[in-house]
Structure 1
Amino acid sequence: MDFRTQLAAELPHLRRFARALAGDAALADDLVQDCIERAIVKGHLYDPARPLRAWLYAVLRNLFISGLRHQSRSMVVKTVDDLADGEGAVAPEQEHRLSASLVAEALERLPAQHREVIVLVGLEEMSYRDAAEIIGVPVGTIMSRLARARSALRQILEDRGHTVLRRVK
């Protein structure tokens, strides 16, 4: 399989990770597009001995962090339309959709470093070692961030009166 075909196969995973980081679908799509563009341009730097997904996640995460740094230097002006609540929104009727919605909202309330660890290890099922490589921290840091993130997520949900997470030992 050639490099571009492998890139295309990773798009759904990149979108999910970008959405978790950015919290906004449009911003996530821009982030994925930038990531793919950078991967194509810098493809010669990719080491085939390393998993492509881990390399792409590192590229995407670095782009996201660079964007945050740039954003913190520039002032964002919102219009009244951006601040208005979504009119006509209907609450989900099915319990599993409600649970997913509650967890997604709780995830957005977590600090970025906790959210990215939960997404990489919990959702993307990456090993601690791969997540550590992507984020650039020791494996022990991943483990402690994950424990703190799970605890914070559980607390956020309990504070809202919901118990959609359960302990698995």
Structure 2
Amino acid sequence: MRDALGDHLVSLWRFALILSRRRDTAEDLVQATCVRALERADQYQPGTRLDRWLFAILHSIWLNEIRARRVRAGAGTVDAELALVFDGGEATETNILAAQVLSAIGALSDGQREAVLLVYAEGYAYREAAALLGVPVGTIMSRLAAARERLAGLKDE
């Protein structure tokens, strides 16, 4: 399990960053996911997709964090643009476009952001994303359609 986790860290971090919109929170989520996966490695069913199991753990931890924040009341979020770090190198134009895209994705509703990341960035099938998030497939399709409509304005700009 320990060796297999390393293959999924980048995807987990990307998902955590989309959910939390904060680098530090994303890192904490990934770390908590890895700890829980190691602690509960016996619950993983060999032959199934490890990444799907890890994403489900991360999503569960995130939902618990959201509930805890509501109880504590006061922890805010940071815009996606502030979560990016630019090195000022030769790819400035690409980084600007990436910041615009991430900002637009960050402006989507939580459900739309989750669906966009899982389906478009991580390559999950609609059914897989629906199962991971615990929603019907039609909900994923609806969220993606709404997200595409909102993001279509970027293309014109």
Normalising by the residue count of structure 1, what TM-score does the alignment of the two structures yield? 0.79
Q: Displacement, 1:110?
A: 0.9
Runs of 4+ in 1 over 6 A off after TM superposition: none
SS in 2 for 1:106: helix
Q: Which moved more, 1:62-71 or 1:94-103?
A: 94-103
The equivalent of 2:56 in structure 1 is 58
Alignment-derived partner of residue 37 in structure 1: 35
Separation (CA, whole Å) in 2 of partners of 1:56 and 1:136: 15
CA shift, 1:28, in A, is 0.1
Equivalent-residue separation in structure 2 for 1:140 and 1:75 (angstroms): 33
Q: Secondary structure at the match of 2:156?
A: coil
**2:9 maps to which residue?**
11
Quote how far apart the aligned CAs of 1:95 are: 2.6
CA drift of 1:53 comes to: 0.4
Return the match for 1:112 from 110, 113, 116.
110
| Structure with the largest fraction of helix | 2
Q: Which amino acid aligns with 1:22?
A: S
Q: Is contact 2:69-2:75 (8 Å) kept?
A: no
CA offset digits 1:117-146 (Å, max 9, x no partner):
000001111111211111011222211111
Q: What is the TM-score normalised by the length of structure 2? A: 0.85
Letter in 2 for 1:154: A
- Residues 62-141 of structure 1: matches in 2 within 5 Å? 62-76=60-74, 94-141=92-139
- TM-superposition CA deviations, 1:30-86 (whole Å, max 9, x none): 0000011111111111112320001100110111111001101113268xxx9xxx8
Q: Helix, strand or coil: the match of 1:57? A: helix
CA spacing shift, 1:151–1:77, aligned 2, 3 Å:
closer
- Inter-CA distance 67–77: structure 2 relative to 1 (3 Å threshold): closer
2:152 aligned partner: 154
- SS of the aligned residue for 1:54 comes to helix
Q: Which runs of 5+ in 2 are unaligned?
A: none
Tell me, in whole angstroms, the C-alpha distance in 2 between the residues paired with 1:136 and 1:27: 23
Identity %: 36
Unaligned runs of 5+ in 1: 165-169
